[in-house]
Structure 1
């Protein structure tokens, strides 16, 4: 902290003063002009609550939403990485039809508003898949069991499992378009000479991708993929529109029931900031260690 203060120059102090003044003015406008009564003392109770009957603490609305956001982001990122890698490889395929199909998918998703994409995927794909697999009946059966602690840890409340699956599928399909372009750029960054050398020793194209191109490409695209994962966490708020009960959806519920508009949304913004900022610092440190190891 002391090193950070020493590095600051007078323009940094000026910007900091302007920011403090700006937020102070907003605070004064809300409290004075709008005659808004702040109720920050109630917010902790909506994060962690006390159950008087069972005499134990429990995760309340905001913490439930945060946990759901983390789960959805992790599962969607894994699925998006798998789909994106397939799309990235397809974009570099020697077959023109495969290349054009992959490019059409990527260009459509990257140039259509996310809200539109979410509704299209939800109504025409994820909901149809859930109905076809009868996931609602299966989830209700799990929810009736007594010992479901492991299920709830990984998937939350099992009665809402179909909703979680919908959110993961929709978010993964949308984000896979961006992951696909990142992987495609990584594959094309590998020198052509390495590919020619692989073919000269009798490797097939699949072996060339598996043993030569993809290992190097994936190592190069780790930083942009890490940034995309952080973006995915922020984009997860979009799926609240299809009633997936993540952090943004729970915040809307809290605002509707308590009328604590500013407290609820500021707390939610703080949650998103803490998660994304922490991950960005972790990824930055891992990237530095990777570069140091290469030296």
Structure 2
């Protein structure tokens, strides 16, 4: 399966993300360069639209896209269609991957500042190995390992198909369709391990940002190493850790598109399916990009609110 649509969507999102960062400057007085940059961006968009209309004579058919958000079922009424199903799967995948990544990253980050040389070496090996491997390679490694080794050995697939109706509904709400749980688990685990390596460095930097005098003061009160971390150091480090951690969640949403190569039916995968069936390339990928952008902008807004609250409490 070609990765060009995934690269195009991620490239478009990164361009939009840069624009959002530039728009944060509205709190100060705009200068001539700001207006010139805005005019240049508008001109580029206008030129692109004109080229599509005049040069390619492209016939936009947005009506083809809207029907893939929701569909009407004779028994269940209005239900989610392909695009909405893909969006929900992306949200599920990002949440589970982030939760696991926080666990992996926190343990690795604590190991990075441990007194044990072995713990530091193991944590550094994990961080350096994962950060220097392409995520696509990790996706294939964990997909074939989980789907061909772990799932059959655990008997989980047979157990899933033997669930009652309400139990299957709970599983589908949390992980998506039962037949895709193996691919979903492989994708979530891959993203968690990949993002966990970056979270480990965030945790390490947050702990090291706390003054060494805090360690000495807590030690003088008779606290052990664990109590020093739990009661004194980590509460202070959280104010440094949480803002970049929120940014890492946004990165997880963007990186989740890579698992479309193992047939996890998230947003990018559904976009590939729609493009192949409708041949409406521009409409499909513009819609996918907008959905990613809306989702990440909402997360960025929530992250800024959390950061502002932490700054106010400092």
Partner of 1:39: 61
| Cα shift at 1:55 | 6.7
Cα separation, partners in 2 of 1:7 and 1:97, compared to 1, 3 Å: same
Partner of 1:118: 139
CA–CA distance in 2 between the matches of 1:6 and 1:260? 42
CA–CA distance in 2 between the matches of 1:103 and 1:55? 52
Root-mean-square deviation (Å): 2.2
CA–CA distance in 2 between the matches of 1:166 and 1:180? 21
| Cα shift at 1:87 | 0.1
- 2:101 counterpart of 1:69: no
Q: Deviations over 1:46-70 (max 9, x none)?
A: 111223x337211111100000000
CA–CA distance in 2 between the matches of 1:5 and 1:96? 47
| Cα shift at 1:158 | 2.4
Tell whether the 8 Å contact from 1:155 to 1:161 is kept in structure 2 after alignment: yes
Describe the SS at the equivalent of 2:133.
coil
Q: Deviations over 1:15-60 (max 9, x none)?
A: 3332222122222323333343221111110111223x33721111
CA–CA distance in 2 between the matches of 1:158 and 1:136? 8
Partner of 2:221: 201
Tell whether the 8 Å contact from 1:115 to 1:238 is kept in structure 2 after alignment: yes
- 2:181 counterpart of 1:161: yes
Partner of 1:225: 245
Tell whether the 8 Å contact from 2:142 to 2:190 is kept in structure 1 after alignment: yes
CA–CA distance in 2 between the matches of 1:160 and 1:139? 11
Cα separation, partners in 2 of 1:174 and 1:126, compared to 1, 3 Å: farther
- Which runs of no fewer than 5 residues in structure 2 stay unpaired? 1-25
Partner of 2:129: 108
CA–CA distance in 1 between the matches of 2:75 and 2:122? 56
Name which of 30, 42, 63 aligns with 1:20.
42
| Cα shift at 1:7 | 5.4
Q: Deviations over 1:115-172 (max 9, x none)?
A: 1222223223565332332222122223x62674433322222232222212111110
After superposition, residues 123-134 of structure 1 pair within 5 angstroms as: 123-125=144-146, 127-134=148-155
Cα separation, partners in 2 of 1:44 and 1:276, compared to 1, 3 Å: same
Tell whether the 8 Å contact from 1:167 to 1:239 is kept in structure 2 after alignment: yes
Tell me whether 130-139 or 66-75 shows the greater mean CA deviation. 130-139
- Which runs of no fewer than 5 residues in structure 1 stay unpaired? none
Cα separation, partners in 2 of 1:129 and 1:214, compared to 1, 3 Å: farther
Cα separation, partners in 2 of 1:272 and 1:254, compared to 1, 3 Å: same
- 2:194 counterpart of 1:174: yes
Name which of 85, 90, 108 aligns with 2:106.
85
Cα separation, partners in 2 of 1:266 and 1:89, compared to 1, 3 Å: same
Tell whether the 8 Å contact from 2:143 to 2:183 is kept in structure 1 after alignment: no
Partner of 1:273: 293
Partner of 1:215: 235
Partner of 2:162: 141
Tell whether the 8 Å contact from 1:194 to 1:212 is kept in structure 2 after alignment: yes
Cα separation, partners in 2 of 1:82 and 1:189, compared to 1, 3 Å: same
Describe the SS at the equivalent of 2:282.
helix
Cα separation, partners in 2 of 1:55 and 1:110, compared to 1, 3 Å: closer
